[in-house]
Structure 1
Amino acid sequence: NPRLMYAPVKEEVEWDEPCIIRYHDIISDREIEILKNISRPLLSRSLTTGGVSKNRTSQGVFLKEDNIVVARISQRIADITGLSKKSAENLFVQNYGIGGRYEPHYDELDDENGRIATFLIYMSDVEIGGATVFPQVGVALKPKKGSAVFWYNLHKNGNVDLNTKHAGCPVLRGNKWVANKWIHEFGQEFRRPCSLSYWE
């Protein structure tokens, strides 16, 4: 992407299968504070597809792109991933207090236009706890303020990558702020071509 030539990102492969990539310093402290300030008065109990659940104990809010900072971050995510933001959900900001957690789950919603990928931004460090873990493969990602992790939830053939089941460990000390961008399948056909192979 031409924009990344002027503002390149630092990329680190955290795991190979599934491929989990961490991008460092992709959001500034000022942008983080703006997102927090916008979100605080709007936060409400985060839901799952079944509504309020004891498996997910955070507060969250979807932010529309009518705010210039939100729009800029969404565009940055599109530039980094190479995926279209037109079929993506609004940026979802979440706050986890002491004991806040999210039990193991898949981001894929098992519908026709599923969540092909997840871009998870860490907006705070966490003193103890709060890691993002992938139990199927034994990966634990510690929150690092200003960084983000990215992975595909679906194989190229459209099947769910079972290794992408993940969880948010309980926050034991500190406060955890994250922002999720869930990107859907439709509109990505030429950006991430599909495959008929069972193995892709």
Structure 2
Amino acid sequence: MTAQTANPDKPAPVVDQAALARIGEKVRARLAADPAAYKVPTERAEIYAFGNFLSPAECDRFIAMVDEVAKPSSLFETTYEQGFRTSYSGDVDRADPFVRMIERRIDDLLGMEPDHGETVQGQRYLPGQEFRAHCDWFWTRAKYWPQEAKRGGQRSWTAMAYLNDVEEGGSTDFTRLGIAIQPQRGALLVWNNMLPDGAPNWDTMHAAIPVAKGVKYVITKWYRSRRWG
């Protein structure tokens, strides 16, 4: 889902709301009890950060994996040529024991059911590349929604790890909150795409600001309201 297809002036049906509220409550309680969790100071969204979630060696290994699978990034309803998302991305091999280990670590951190998680996607941003402001949850009036409804329903939480420090630019900006987070090697950023009642949260709109100097690598894992796939 991107901000190009979602329209706050045209409300879309809210789906899986009770399940999303339950997931949010469960993860919220787990993170509140975790002394390593840093809650980003805002009352309008649930955003947490964890420093040194990945070791330098794990970051390097993921960077090599991203380079192997990276292709021009795609969206549900826009093309690479339209310039909305100009990074390179690709799903890493979920059968790889290393990937499975990291996925289990993220599952355990959030207390999420493993079968609700999508495959880890890697992204690479070169100078000038970006991902404009968007939300990760699906707009249920979009043409792609019937297919996604069958593949696990609405997205609940997002987990994104930074694999390297970026020389200049490349921050993750929550555009409606005025919050900018600079990449930090090994750090994990997680957020609830929903409100506490299970409805989509527009204030999770975020953008990958263009890299000005250097290269930016991240991995992202999304979770669904139901079993994925």
1:3 matched to which residue of 2?
none
Paired residues for 1:165-176 under 5 Å: 165-176=205-216
Moved more, 84-93 or 10-19: 10-19
The structure where strand makes up a greater share of residues is: 1
User: For the aligned residues, what is the CA RMSD?
Assistant: 1.7
Q: What secondary structure, in the 3-state scheme, does the structure 2 residue paired with 1:74 have? A: helix
SS of match in other structure, 1:86: helix
Q: State the partner residue of 1:190.
A: none
Q: Is the 8 A contact 2:39 2:48 kept in 1?
A: yes
Distance 2:41 2:106 in 1: 20
Q: Which runs of 4+ in 1 moved over 6 A?
A: none
Gaps of 5+ in 2: 1-33, 140-144
Give the secondary-structure state (helix, strand or coil) at the position aligned to 2:40.
strand
Q: Partner residue of 2:74?
A: 47
* TM score, norm. by length of structure 1: 0.85
Q: Does the 8 Å contact 2:78/2:84 carry over to 1?
A: no
Shift in Å, 1:14: 1.6
One-letter identity of the residue aligned with 1:130: G
Against the structure 1 CA distance between its residues 35 and 9, is the aligned structure 2 distance closer, same or farther, given a 3 Å change threshold? farther
**Which structure 2 residues correspond to residues 40-119 of structure 1 after superposition, within 5 A?**
40-53=67-80, 54-110=83-139, 111=145, 112=149, 113-119=153-159
Report the Cα offset of residue 63 of structure 1: 1.4
State the distance in 2 between where 1:76 and 1:179 align.
14
Distance 1:82 1:118 in 2: 13
2:217 to 177, 180, 188: 177
Partners in 1 of 2:49 and 2:61 — Cα distance? 23
Contact 1:9 1:23 in 2 (8 A): no
The code of the aligned residue for 2:154 comes to G
Q: 2:56 aligns with which of 29, 33, 53?
A: 29
Query: Structure 1 residues 92 and 9, CA, compared in 2 at 3 Å: closer, same or farther?
Result: farther
* TM score, norm. by length of structure 2: 0.75
Q: Distance in 2 between matches of 1:55 and 1:102?
A: 6
Match status 1:155 vs 2:195: yes
Q: Which amino acid aligns with 1:14?
A: V
Judging by fraction of residues, say which structure has more helix.
Answer: 2
How far apart, CA to CA, are the structure 2 residues paired with 1:63 and 1:84?
A: 20
* Identity level (%): 26
What residue is the counterpart of 1:191 in the other structure? none
Q: How many residues align?
A: 181
Asked whether the 8 Å contact 1:22–1:149 carries over to 2, the reply is: yes
Determine if contact 2:122/2:218 at 8 Å carries over to the other structure.
yes
Runs of 5+ in structure 1 lacking a partner?
1-7, 188-200
Cα distance in 2 for residues equivalent to 1:168 and 1:43? 17
Q: Deviations over 1:21-43 (max 9, x none)?
A: 00111111111121122221221
